[in-house]
């Protein structure tokens, strides 16, 4: 089975998106992706991510994610976990070029296995550059 390269992001639920963005931005997090009901920020130097999930966001709940640099590794991990009896969701290709699936660990914690394209997670914000 491919090994985890890094703990890439944590996703938390927030009640007030603007307040949360302001708080984490003052700590040095940079907006990478913004949608109506969620956003993704990164620490500039480390590229560690924080997803803020608004009250109306229903696609996923609070979780943490392991990031992979090779898209095929996500499929291999998915297939191997499924073959070993772990309940896994389907692999989805996302509009930002990432691909992922969700599962729960043996204690019920949600986690995501996510492919991160070369250069990092692309931004939909003007003036934001991705790392190489």
92 in any annotated domain: yes
pTM of the model: 0.80
* Number of structural domains the chain divides into: 1
On whether the CB atoms of residues 123 and 130 are closer than 8 A, the answer is yes
95 in any annotated domain: yes
82 in any annotated domain: yes
Domain span at residue 39 reads 6-115
- CA within 13 Å, CB half, 4: 12
120 in any annotated domain: no
CA 112 to chain centre: 7
93 in any annotated domain: yes
| DSSP character string of 48-64 | -EEEEE-TT--S--SEE
What is the per-residue pLDDT across 76-110, written as a single tens digit (0 to 9) for each?
999 999 999 999 999 999 888 899 999 999 889 99
Where residue 30 sits, what CATH number does that domain have? 3.10.180.10
On whether the CB atoms of residues 57 and 36 are closer than 8 A, the answer is no
At 128, the pLDDT band (50, 70, 90 cuts) reads low
125 in any annotated domain: no
**What is the per-residue pLDDT for 132?**
44
127 in any annotated domain: no
**What is the per-residue pLDDT for 131?**
47
């Amino acid at each position: 089975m491919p090994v985890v390269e890094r703990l890439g992001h944590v996703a938390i639920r927030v009640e007030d998106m603007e307040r949360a963005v302001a708080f984490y931005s003052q700590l040095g997090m940079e907006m990478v992706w913004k949608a109506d009901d969620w956003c993704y920020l990164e620490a500039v130097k480390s590229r560690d991510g924080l997803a803020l999930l608004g009250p109306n966001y229903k696609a996923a709940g609070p979780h943490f994610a392991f990031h992979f640099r090779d898209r095929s590794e996500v499929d291999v991990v998915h297939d191997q976990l499924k073959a070993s009896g772990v309940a896994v969701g389907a692999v989805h290709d996302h509009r930002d070029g990432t691909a992922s699936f969700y599962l729960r660990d043996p204690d019920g914690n949600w986690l995501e296995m996510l492919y991160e394209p070369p250069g990092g997670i692309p931004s939909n914000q003007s003036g934001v550059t991705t790392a190489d």
